[in-house]
């Protein structure tokens, strides 16, 4: 399957590739021609080790297992063949896990012939569309597609139906230290909390404060800005002392005009102008102004 075709089909959602599960077959269509549903022993089915989803709520699994005991598995698990009589899950690992808890010996499956890349793409798309991934799992899934298959942030945004800035903000979460990422995965911190910590000098200390005090995202952002400001103020004060009043006035004028932080540093006959931004929207606005649009 070509890259463009794969992206177009995935962009229409999971059903574009696995097919509608509840549509009747046209009269006279051979079952073998459409890769029909089948029931297989549950021990012949294994999880996809590349599935980005790592965390499954035990209480929710038990509730689903209870429903499966009463009604069975309503929606088949989508799999691909891994060997002669073995299958690997593409979509539906949660149902497979709950079926094991319910004690099912067999489960209904839909078999699809896809490669490693498409299986990973489908796993990410399905989980994102159903909001089954926590923010860290989502970010790791995006990173995996970018690193292994050369997707751009724009590509991913089109596939999952979200903005490029959403993808970029998700990827920024991977810059956090491991203990903070664990708090995010466990749900102790929300994605909004975590994004506020990315650029701070000590994100773990702030994360603990946020969790202990139960701070809102807005409070977390304010706390993060205070920490960033406290770190930068001494050096900024030294720089201001070394600048003449005209340079300082020009910095203020440009800052007021752009609505952003502007710093001018002279170096001999030349120098540097630095424009600070706090969001991707502000960065896009800077690019728009520089391009004269």
Report CA-CA distances (Å) from 67 to 39, 61, 89, 95, 101: 19, 10, 21, 11, 11
Do 80 and 112 contact (CB within 8 A), yes or no?
Answer: yes
> Phi/psi class of residue 239: alpha, beta or left (left: φ > 0; alpha: ψ in -120 to 50)?
alpha
93 is an active site residue: yes
Pinpoint the alpha helices (H) of the chain: 3-11, 15-18, 58-71, 93-102, 116-129, 135-149, 153-160, 164-172, 178-186, 191-197, 203-213, 217-242, 245-258, 280-290
Which of these is catalytic: 43, 60, 93, 251? 93
Largest CA distance in the chain: 87
Cβ-based burial of 58 (10 A; exposed 0-12, middle 13-18, buried ≥19): exposed
Positions marked catalytic: 93
């Amino acid at each position: 399957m070509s890259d463009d075709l794969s992206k177009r089909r995935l962009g229409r959602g999971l059903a574009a590739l696995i097919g509608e599960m509840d549509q009747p077959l046209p009269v006279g269509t051979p079952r073998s021609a459409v890769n029909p549903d089948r029931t297989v022993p549950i021990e012949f089915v294994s999880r996809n080790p590349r599935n980005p989803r790592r965390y499954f709520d035990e209480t929710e699994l038990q509730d689903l297992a209870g429903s499966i005991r009463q009604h069975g598995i309503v929606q088949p698990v989508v799999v691909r063949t891994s060997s002669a009589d073995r299958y690997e899950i593409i979509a539906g690992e949660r149902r497979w896990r709950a079926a094991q808890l319910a004690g099912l010996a067999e489960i209904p499956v839909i078999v699809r012939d896809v490669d490693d890349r498409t299986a990973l793409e489908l796993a990410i798309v399905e989980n994102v569309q159903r909001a089954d991934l926590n923010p860290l799992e989502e970010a790791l899934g995006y990173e995996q597609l970018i690193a292994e298959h050369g997707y751009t942030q724009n590509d991913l945004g089109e596939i999952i139906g979200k903005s490029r800035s959403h993808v970029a903000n998700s990827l920024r979460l991977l810059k956090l230290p491991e203990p903070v990422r664990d708090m995010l995965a466990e749900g102790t911190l929300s994605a909004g909390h975590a994004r506020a910590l990315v650029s701070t000098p000590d994100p773990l200390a702030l994360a603990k404060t946020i969790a202990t005090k139960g701070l809102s995202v807005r409070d977390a952002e304010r706390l993060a800005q205070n920490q960033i400001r406290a770190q930068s103020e001494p050096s900024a004060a030294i720089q201001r002392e070394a600048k003449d009043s005209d340079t300082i006035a020009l910095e203020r004028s440009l800052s007021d005009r752009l609505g952003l932080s502007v710093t001018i540093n002279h170096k001999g006959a030349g120098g540097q102008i630095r424009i600070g931004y706090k969001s991707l929207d502000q960065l896009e606005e800077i690019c728009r102004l520089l391009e004269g649009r």
